[in-house]
Structure 1
Amino acid sequence: MRVLVTGGAGFLGSHLCEELLKRGDAVICVDDLSTGRRDNIAGFIGDRKFAFLRADVSTALQVSGPLDVVAHLASPASPPDYHRLPLETLAVGSRGTENALQLAERKSARFLLASTSEVYGDPIVHPQTEDYCGNVSSVGPRSVYDEAKRFAEALTMAYARTHGVNVGIIRIFNTFGPRMRAEDGRVVSSFIAQALNGDPLTIYGDGEQTRSFCYVDDLIRGILAMLDGDETGPVNLGNPVERTVLELAELVLGITGSSSPVEFHQRPVDDPSRRRPDITLAASALGWEPRVSTEEGLQHTIRYFRSHRREVSAAAESLAGAQFEGTPARESLPADRSPLASPA
């Protein structure tokens, strides 16, 4: 196939590009490098089946030649990134999604939207099934990301119903692995960087809030199954094994052998208290379920971070006092500062 991947130089996008190339597909990677990195795709540049186009999909998306799939992964995805780029996040979820949908329509290609578990907000239904409509604030500090993805889902379904575009929607739950940025503010990368630097592991709240952590190789298998099939979705992709944030911190400390202490700080606004996917639909429609345990995935990820010590060391300052997996409590923000303005 010939596949276009928006956000292809990002954490997930680069892994998707890699797997597509491994199986013989031609790949066009589109990224404006606002959060993606050239290093993530450096190993593919010499491949005759790989092409990189630096472009902002929110502005326009024009590609010559046929396409079989348009996979739309472009978006800031970590709290520091989407608070640093709030208007850009909304733009890529709205105009960027429509540009990608229009391209898929012109090329008679399948369109795959990478949505997120954030559409469920702080859920009152547990575990989260795809028919749950969520508990989301449209005006809260996380809303630029949450609502951009919710709008993208609505737009995708409108193009399917109105123009007959072949679409698929996946909702991605917390995913981790090599190529995460050490300073991106997500809980796994933050804990690993802090542990390797000997800095305190910062937990916001009492650490009893839960997440379900999926290793990147498992997620990419799920994306490929969705990309190759005809399921519309939305389909949850994530690991249903639920862990508290404190348990994750203890795992990271154990695997790294770090003696870093754990510090507790005020819990962020709109930070979900529980997060766990119901993957019944993924199992039945795609034959997919995770294979890699959190422990094994952490070992691979920590090995990657150890091989990038300069980046990990440089992340220490930005992670000091930074919030991740949410935004600072309102009362902790100076009056003249936006959320995450200083340590993003």
Structure 2
Amino acid sequence: MARAVAVLSTVLCGADLVPQLRGSLGELESCVSKPNFQRAQSSWCGQQQEPVACFKELDDLNPIWDCHLQSAQCSLGAKPCAWPKDALELAQAPERKVSEAAAGNPTRFVTWNLYVFTLAGRIHPVVDELMRMQPEIAAIPEMWHEKHAILDRLNQVSGNVYAFATGGQTEQFNDADILFRADKWEHIASDLVPFSAGRAVNWAALRRKSDGYTLLAAGTHPLCCQGDYVVMEAVDFVIRTLAGVQQQHPYPIVLMGDLNTGYFQPSQQLLRNGHMDAFGRRWQIPMTFTDAWAELHPGNPDPSTINNDPVRLDYVYFQKTPISVGQSVVQSQIWPRAAGSDHRAVSGDVVLNR
């Protein structure tokens, strides 16, 4: 392995970077045989062209690979492997097609706090990450006037397929704008409803063009660093607001955002259970949700999504009652920190059906 690193380091100094790297990858084992390769190929790394990825063992607390690397330098706990040139053909293998057909056709939802304070200088890397994650629908907290530059760049590289829900004064509140694939989803209605200290909840009614499936995508971003009681009040307000929206647009809800509190806190238990005794009173909301990440990772429901702090702040919630978003969450990921944000993105893939 030391020889492989030395060879790759030497090649990095050469003028013809990628071809030489490709020629020297015999020193590294192929990624194909590594744990979670199929997930890495289909989601984490996408159609990677770079020659190296860093894989994790199955028991790693954050098994997501580091992708799109030009050298064999990996972060702590990860190991380098040679990304196969024929990854596209591997992805199209018959057994993979059978697997995907059995799972249905999932839709990916993403929440990602972009860290607004330095965002203006990070438009291109942010868009690169969004393209890597490939959301169909997303909630994007901490994005103000940079939204237009992000959308312009996103459509330059995606082929003009994305749009933001435009309802409400989205540039005047700390909220979570709704981004969606306009080639796959039709915008029906949207709005922004403010609550305390300049915070707000965004919602958008979206109809899938292929089959008419309709949902309410919602995003929010409660106040930071003031304890869970403030978040509890925000959750109570947001859900009651969305319940009112649902009376007019009777579709299931996907709630996303940086909720600024941990998985085990009362506010998040309220979302999952519909009721909670906390802070000297009983709280009750008219609906319940499934947490995409915890549904598939019950042994590790509260991994870090902010810097390296031992807490999770970011969530993708699928409505469970009284209207269900779908029958099965098929995948959920916590993505590596990227593009200068202090937050990790969280995604949830679900099969949407009536």
Q: Same fold (TM over 0.5)?
A: no
Larger radius of gyration: 2
Q: TM-score, normalised by structure 2?
A: 0.29
Name whichever structure is richer in helix by fraction.
Answer: 1
User: RCO greater where, 1 or 2, for CA within 8 Å and sep 6 or more?
Assistant: 1
Q: TM-score, normalised by structure 1?
A: 0.30
